[in-house]
Amino acid sequence: MNLLTNHGLLPSCFQADEDSYPAALEKHFYLQKYCGSQFSRYVVDRKTGQPFLLKGVFSSDQQQYQTYILNEARALLELKGIQGIPRLEGLIRSEGGLWLLVQWLPEAQSVLQCGRGRRAAGKLVQQLAPLLAACHGRGICHCDLHPDNLVYSNGQLWLLDFGAALRADIPYPYRRQLSYGFASPDLLRGQGKVSFADDHFSLLILLWVLWTGRHPFGGRIPANMSAALAELKCPDNMSRSDFRWFIAHFRSPQNVSLGNIYMQARRWY
């Protein structure tokens, strides 16, 4: 598996083909292509020519997948108006399922496609910190920060995919499909309460990947973090003090704030 491009981790029974796009919707929205998993499609309104991202599942698909869509609708409504989060343009009930029409971002490119190294990591934090702080300010934890959910389009950073988003401080509600290379140990265990530290942890992993071009733990978050950290070597292009900073916060993500990450990353560019 190529860690940097395959975060889908979807069961192989899911095929992105016409069968997963209802004819009732095809009548109104011309299907251009699938994006990412089988949930998301680039479509064009047949009448107006306006492009959208159309995201949804049939009602017959597993309940779990419908929950993601419902979650995403809720989160996008609660995050309305935040610069850098795509607008929810409409909600459609069809084939018993819920379908989201989302603002289309032209020529979206994953953050990993837009530069690597220390400066790229610093710049990402500069743009992401206010955006994430705005989400957290409204009580929403993204819970699925990884490179494919952060894109540049029209010269700005966008945070996508709120399917896994949850309100902070609630107990983890159900077992979810997660990006195992980026989800915090608490989120993976599903024990305790949802916390902003879950997003901070994913951001730290993402910064390491962007800076070094490698995942710190070979692609998966280890069950025994202390043992894995003892094995981790300081990359050639990282100072000892930055390395120690990463180690300390991989170990205890609840001790790092977004403000801390922002201040540290200001030195990187």
Ligand X SMILES: Nc1ncnc2c1ncn2[C@@H]1O[C@H](COP(=O)(O)OP(=O)(O)O)[C@@H](O)[C@H]1O
Q: For binding to Mg ion (CB under 5 A), which residues are involved?
A: 149, 161
Q: How many CB atoms lie within 10 A of CB 203?
A: 26
Angstrom distance (rounded) from CA 203 to CA 195: 14
* Position 265, amino acid: A
**Which helix (H) or strand (E) element contains residue 156?**
strand 156-159
Name residue, tokens 């292009």. 237
* Minimum distance from residue 22 beta carbon to ligand X (Å): 18
- Indicate which of ligand X, Mg ion, none lies near residue 37 (CB less than 5 to 8 Å, by partner kind): ligand X
Nearer to ligand X, 162 or 208 (CB): 162
Nearer to ligand X, 178 or 205 (CB): 178
- Are 54 and 43 contacting, i.e. CB atoms less than 8 angstroms apart? yes
Nearer to Mg ion, 177 or 254 (CB): 177
Nearer to ligand X, 199 or 242 (CB): 199
Residue number, nearest CB to Mg ion: 161
Residue number, nearest CB to ligand X: 36
Q: Which residues pair with 41 in a beta bridge?
A: 34, 54
98: CB partners within 8 A, 6+ apart: 56, 66, 69, 70, 73, 91, 92
Nearer to Mg ion, 61 or 161 (CB): 161
Measured in Å, how far apart are the chain's first and last C-alpha atoms?
Answer: 32
Q: How many CB atoms lie within 10 A of CB 154?
A: 9
* Minimum distance from residue 247 beta carbon to Mg ion (Å): 28
Residues that bind ligand X (CB under 6 A): 35-37, 39-40, 53, 86, 102-105, 108, 148-149, 151, 160-161, 163
* Minimum distance from residue 161 beta carbon to ligand X (Å): 3
Nearer to ligand X, 162 or 201 (CB): 162
* Minimum distance from residue 182 beta carbon to Mg ion (Å): 11
* Minimum distance from residue 106 beta carbon to Mg ion (Å): 18
Nearer to ligand X, 51 or 235 (CB): 51
Q: Cα 79–68–219 angle (5° rounding)?
A: 100
Structure tokens at 50: 């306006």
- Indicate which of ligand X, Mg ion, none lies near residue 98 (CB less than 5 to 8 Å, by partner kind): none
- Indicate which of ligand X, Mg ion, none lies near residue 86 (CB less than 5 to 8 Å, by partner kind): ligand X
Compute CA distances 124 → 36, 94, 119, 217, whole Å.
Answer: 22, 38, 9, 21
* Minimum distance from residue 40 beta carbon to ligand X (Å): 4
SS3 content of the chain, % helix, strand, coil (to 5): 40, 20, 45
* Minimum distance from residue 153 beta carbon to ligand X (Å): 7
